[in-house]
Amino acid sequence: NAGVTQTPKFQVLKTGQSMTLQCAQDMNHNSMYWYRQDPGMGLRLIYYSASEGTTDKGEVPNGYNVSRLNKREFSLRLESAAPSQTSVYFCASRPRAGNTIYFGEGSWLTVV
Amino acid sequence: ILNVEQSPQSLHVQEGDSTNFTCSFPSSNFYALHWYRWETAKSPEALFVMTLNGDEKKKGRISATLNTKEGYSYLYIKGSQPEDSATYLCAHNAGNNRKLIWGLGTSLAVNP
């Protein structure tokens, strides 16, 4: 049972570089989320996808784009990384008929 | 706007002590209240999802209560063990919009 898998786990980027964080879930969940976690702040929602083919902005979408490639996969792209995007990123998913959210193990991103 | 508040911010207890934390949230338009346990370098893990006023849930030595009218939930740990050391997060889901507002967490350290 893989659950929610996100890659890479660690990444260092230079300012201006682009990268994509990958996320996949094998639980047939409808909703998927990308959060960032910063010291002294709660988990903040970047983007979410209520179902395949739909995406919506969360609290802090600027500087990010997402793709809900299919029901399993939800990727997060940084087009031009900035030091302010240094953070821990969590992907999560949620079934249609339930309330529990299942998280991936996190991706530590440093932008220098 | 962060409108989910958790207290205390951190807590140190001795092995065997019982402890409790508080999560406060807006009482209007309530849908669900989530508690998660988050160990460093791991993914947050769901403890409870509570939806009804007066709900009381239990998992081993951990239990939680919910008061939706006054907007608070308590998490109790009976006979704390070192393996209970983690950050305990609560999140409020208003109006079934599939988006959660997260608190900053209570960081618990249990000394052997």
| Rounded-to-integer distance, Cα B86 and Cα A66, Å | 31
Which residues 6+ apart lie within 8 Å of A25 measured at CB? A3, A4, A5, A32, A72, A91, A93, A102
The pLDDT of A18-37, averaged and rounded, is: 95
| Average pLDDT of chain A to the nearest whole number | 93
Whether B52 has its CB under 8 Å from any CB of chain A: the answer is no
What is the β-pairing status of strands A4-7 and A10-13?
unpaired
Task: Evaluate if residue A10 carries a pLDDT over 90.
Answer: yes
> Residue B104 and residue A48: Cβ atoms within 8 Å?
no
| Rounded-to-integer distance, Cα A55 and Cα A49, Å | 4
The pLDDT of B73-86, averaged and rounded, is: 97
| Average pLDDT of chain B to the nearest whole number | 92
Going by the DSSP 8-state scheme, the letter that residue B78 receives in this structure is S
Task: Evaluate if residue A28 carries a pLDDT over 80.
Answer: yes
With beta carbons under 8 A apart, name residues in chain B contacting A41: 2, 104
> B103 near B49, Cβ under 8 Å?
no
For A38, the closest chain B residue by CA position comes to: B104
Task: Evaluate if residue B6 carries a pLDDT over 80.
Answer: yes
Residues of chain A with pLDDT > 90: what percent? 83
**φ, ψ dihedrals at A28, nearest 5°:** 60, 35
Would you state the structure tokens that stand for residue B35, as one six-digit string? 């508690």
Task: Evaluate if residue B100 carries a pLDDT over 90.
Answer: no
The pLDDT of B84-100, averaged and rounded, is: 85
| Rounded-to-integer distance, Cα B6 and Cα B74, Å | 10
- The whole-number pLDDT of residue B1 equals 39
Q: Residue B49: which of A43, A90, A100 has the nearest Cβ?
A: A100
DSSP, residue by residue, A9-26: SEEEE-TT--EEEEEEES
Task: Evaluate if residue A55 carries a pLDDT over 70.
Answer: yes
- The whole-number pLDDT of residue B97 equals 63
